[in-house]
Chain A
């Protein structure tokens, strides 16, 4: 199987570990990821905040490049996925004139939903060497992946299940909680620290209350927000994993502690406890 891959800017910088784990997981699943030729940034929040037209133009070129290859797009970053879908819908509705002939027939998958298809879950289950049993975690989706439903296509946007299904397939015990899709503050912490901190702290508190030892996420910005606030080590650390890191861990006989050296909340003691490393 072949797919075109739109990594997004974060996967080259803040989330290199996410990129590495994705590579390992898709290799193990025998799926070819072809990076979109000379891809550019999707514009994220800044583009649509300051110029709505720009937020249609920026992803359009990436859509065009993927259409030239004729491969469905898979995007690991929640915001990139959202912006690609948004741009595609705007082009289909002919709201703006785009200089590239984009038809918008391509499917834009977000990585969690792609891997949560029944067939893929089966594949993942077949390849698990060491189930992560004993790992109590909550899944955190964030906003951009599930909302607004008319763009993302999620029907269960109040209680999304994709990450839950994947992490359950690799053997973790998934705990239900009410803050699955509550905003983590995104980039607001850079300008107004107190707002960002209040939002992330609440999420961590609620995760602890639910009895979680770890959080599984799929968005690079959510991961860094939830992880970096724990650098003062005042409370019990809750490691924040990318879901692909967990899949990769379960695919291998014995995990490597080096995979997690970019985390601020150190997950190695927890993984030692459940015998995954």
Chain B
């Protein structure tokens, strides 16, 4: 299956192979799990594609929003976790708002993003995933997110630096940073919040995990 997808050379095309079983190997386990965890009636979807038509970034996704819902119904978990869709989604909630059956499409994609982050799957959109991660790292350190510190930490990540140099964007973005500093839009030093320590302690005690 994997090799056949690679052979087409087009990642935007996601066609199930003939050998594939229609329903996921574990029956509707995945569907029930998603429905239970986010209280979304995924089964109600009748593929009218209104979510995909409302989505502002659907043309950058490899699995379109209405397909995501279908994939969940079929239990194709791995395909979803490997997709770019879950990272490209902006959580702008257009899809959920306009769904005639009140399927919570945005929440479903967001939940899949949660699952992907806690799994061992390498995210397809590494930069977007790393940005979220850096954001939380800064948040954990200082309680408030300072854009200057955030961008510093983000660009110091070896992966990001490598990507930016390769694509030739680095100079442009450094110049933008300088322009913003000159305009006073980036402040290197801002107040921190002490409350974050309590929040983290409480969170770790309640959930037994640190994010």
Chain A interface (Cβ < 8 Å from any Cβ of B): 9-10, 12-14, 16, 38-41, 43-54, 57-58, 61, 65, 96-100, 143-144, 147-149, 157, 182-183, 185-188, 190-193, 195, 199, 224, 228, 231, 261-262, 264
Q: Per-position contact with A for B140-173: 1 when CB-CB < 8 Å, else 0?
A: 0001111110010010000000000000010000
Secondary structure at chain B's binding surface: helix, strand, loop or mixed?
helix
- Cα distance A160–B186 in the bound complex, in angstroms: 31
Contacts A40-B144, A187-B131, A191-B127; is A16 near B187 (CB within 8 Å)? yes
- In the complex, the answer to whether A147 meets B211 with C-beta atoms within 8 Å is no
Contacts A9-B144, A228-B176; is A192 near B88 (CB within 8 Å)? yes
Q: What are 14 A-B contacts defined by CB distance under 8 Å?
A: A9-B147, A13-B148, A16-B184, A40-B199, A41-B145, A46-B132, A50-B136, A52-B110, A61-B195, A148-B96, A186-B90, A195-B88, A231-B179, A261-B184
| Contacting residues, chain B, for A192 (C-beta < 8 A) | 60, 88, 125, 127-128
Nearest B-chain residue to A188, judged by Cβ: B90
Q: Per-position contact with A for B44-62: 1 when CB-CB < 8 Å, else 0?
A: 0000000000001100100
* B30 interface residue per 8 A CB criterion: no
| Contacting residues, chain B, for A45 (C-beta < 8 A) | 91, 132
- In the complex, the answer to whether A40 meets B97 with C-beta atoms within 8 Å is no
- In the complex, the answer to whether B206 meets A148 with C-beta atoms within 8 Å is no
Contacts A16-B184, A40-B143; is A183 near B60 (CB within 8 Å)? no
- Cα distance A96–B131 in the bound complex, in angstroms: 27
**Can you list the 8 inter-chain pairs with the closest CB atoms, starting with the nearest?**
A191-B127, A46-B135, A183-B92, A143-B92, A147-B93, A40-B193, A191-B128, A46-B132
- In the complex, the answer to whether B202 meets A51 with C-beta atoms within 8 Å is no
* B82 interface residue per 8 A CB criterion: no
A261 in complex: contacting residue of B111, B183, B194, CB < 8 Å: B183
Chain B contact patch, size range:
35 or more
From residue B56, how far is it (CB to closest CB) to chain A in Å?
5
List 20 additional A-B contacts (Cβ < 8 Å) besides A13-B190, A41-B196, A224-B185: A12-B187, A13-B147, A39-B193, A40-B144, A40-B199, A44-B135, A47-B136, A48-B91, A52-B111, A57-B199, A57-B202, A58-B199, A65-B195, A97-B206, A143-B90, A147-B97, A183-B94, A186-B90, A188-B90, A262-B185
* B29 interface residue per 8 A CB criterion: no
Nearest A-chain residue to B89, judged by Cβ: A49
| Contacting residues, chain B, for A199 (C-beta < 8 A) | 56-57
- Cα distance A16–B186 in the bound complex, in angstroms: 9
Nearest B-chain residue to A185, judged by Cβ: B90
| Contacting residues, chain A, for B186 (C-beta < 8 A) | 13-14
Q: Of residues 101 to 127 in B, which have CB atoms within 8 Å of A's CB atoms?
A: 106, 110-111, 113-114, 117, 125, 127
| Contacting residues, chain A, for B117 (C-beta < 8 A) | 49-51
- Cα distance A186–B132 in the bound complex, in angstroms: 12
B143, B146, B147, B185 pick with most chain A CB within 10 angstroms: B185
* B207 interface residue per 8 A CB criterion: yes
| Contacting residues, chain B, for A148 (C-beta < 8 A) | 93, 96-97, 106
- In the complex, the answer to whether B185 meets A195 with C-beta atoms within 8 Å is no
- Cα distance A97–B92 in the bound complex, in angstroms: 27
Nearest B-chain residue to A224, judged by Cβ: B185
From residue B202, how far is it (CB to closest CB) to chain A in Å?
4
| Contacting residues, chain A, for B148 (C-beta < 8 A) | 13
Nearest B-chain residue to A62, judged by Cβ: B195
Nearest A-chain residue to B151, judged by Cβ: A190
* B78 interface residue per 8 A CB criterion: no
- Cα distance A224–B144 in the bound complex, in angstroms: 19
| Contacting residues, chain B, for A149 (C-beta < 8 A) | 97
Contacts A39-B195, A53-B203; is A262 near B94 (CB within 8 Å)? no
Q: Of residues 36 to 79 in B, which have CB atoms within 8 Å of A's CB atoms?
A: 56-57, 60
| Contacting residues, chain B, for A191 (C-beta < 8 A) | 125, 127-128, 130-131
- In the complex, the answer to whether A38 meets B91 with C-beta atoms within 8 Å is no
* B198 interface residue per 8 A CB criterion: yes
- Cα distance A193–B125 in the bound complex, in angstroms: 12
Nearest B-chain residue to A99, judged by Cβ: B202
| Contacting residues, chain A, for B92 (C-beta < 8 A) | 143-144, 147, 183, 186
| Contacting residues, chain B, for A261 (C-beta < 8 A) | 183-184
